Copies of this chain bind each other. A is one copy, B any other.
Amino acid sequence: MKEIPLKDAYQLVEPGPTTLLTTRHEGRANVMTLSWHMVVDFTPRLACVVSEANFSHAALRATGECVIAIPDVGLAAKAVEIGNCSGREVRKFEAFGLTPKPAHKVGAPLVAECFANLECRVVDAQLADTYNLFILEVVMAWRDPRKKAPKTIHHQGYGRFIVDGETIELPSNMP
Contact = CB atoms under 8 A, between A and B. Distances in A.
Nearest to A131: B40
B175 A157 contact: yes
Interface in A60-118: 73, 76-77, 80, 83-84
Work out how many copies of this chain go into the complex. Answer: 2
Interface residues of A, number: 58
Given A38-B47, A40-B131, A84 B174 contact: yes
A14 interface: yes
A32 to B, nearest CB: 11
Interface of A: 8, 10-11, 14-17, 33, 35-41, 45, 47-49, 73, 76-77, 80, 83-84, 124, 126-127, 130-133, 135, 151-175
